[in-house]
Amino acid sequence: EELVFLNASRKAHAVAKERDEGLVLGFYTLGFFGKKVLGKPNDAKHAQQMLVELNGKTHLIITAIVAIDCSNGKKSRCLTRHW
Taking residues 46-55, what's their average pLDDT?
A: 94
Q: Specify the 3-state DSSP secondary structure of 45.
A: helix
Taking residues 55-68, what's their average pLDDT?
A: 95
The pLDDT value given to residue 20: 94
Q: Specify the 3-state DSSP secondary structure of 83.
A: coil
The pLDDT value given to residue 1: 85
Confidence check: pLDDT of 60 > 90 = yes
Q: What is the pLDDT of residues 24-46, one digit of tens each?
A: 999 999 999 989 999 889 999 99
Judge contact between 4 and 66, C-beta under 8 A.
Answer: no
Confidence of residue 69 (pLDDT cuts 50, 70, 90): very high
Residue 78: C-alpha distances to residues 9, 12, 20, 43, 70 (Å): 11, 13, 23, 29, 18
The pLDDT value given to residue 51: 93
